[in-house]
Structure 1
Amino acid sequence: MMLDLAAPVEFDRLSRAMDQIPLPVFVVRRIGPSRYALARLNRCYETTVGLRNAAVANRPMDTILPARMAATLAANYDTCLARQAPFSYEEMLRIGGREAWWRTTLTPLPTPEDGAAHVLGVASDITADKAQQLSDTAEIARMKGLFDDIRAFAGLTAHDMRGPLGNLVGLIDLILDDFTDHGNGKRRLIEKCAEVAETGLEAIDRVMARVTALNRVGVVRSVIDLGHMCRDLATLADPAGRLEIAMPEARVESDHAIVQTALRNLMDNASRFCRTRIAVEVAQADTPDRIALTVSDDGPGFASGDDIAMLTAPRLEDAAGRGFGLQTVAALLTARDGTIEVAPEGRLGGATVTITLPGRILAPTPDGAEPRPQLVAR
Structure 2
Amino acid sequence: MLQGKTVVLGVTGSIAAYKSVEIASRLIKLRCNVIVIMTSNAVNFVNPITFEEITKNKCLVDTFDRNFQFNIKHISVSRLADAVIIAPASANVIGKIANGIADDMLTTTVMACQCVKFLAPAMNTSMYTDSILQENLSKLYDHGYKIIEPIEGNLANGSVGRGKMASTSDIVEEIVYSIAKERDFTDKNILITAGATREKIDPVRYISNYSSGKMALLIAREFALRGADVTVIAGACNVNPPKVKQYINVETSEQMLEEVKKEYKFADICIFAAAVCDFKFDKVCYSKIKKTSDKINITLESTVDISRYVCENKEKKTYTCGFALETEDLISNARIKMQNKGLDMIIANQFDENNQVFGSDYNKVSIITQNAETDLEKMDKEKLAEYIVTKIRDEITCA
Given the two structures, how large is their TM-score scaled by the length of structure 1? 0.25
Structure having greater relative contact order (Cα 8 Å, sep ≥ 6): 1
Q: Which has the larger radius of gyration?
A: 1
More helix by percentage: 1
Given the two structures, how large is their TM-score scaled by the length of structure 2? 0.24
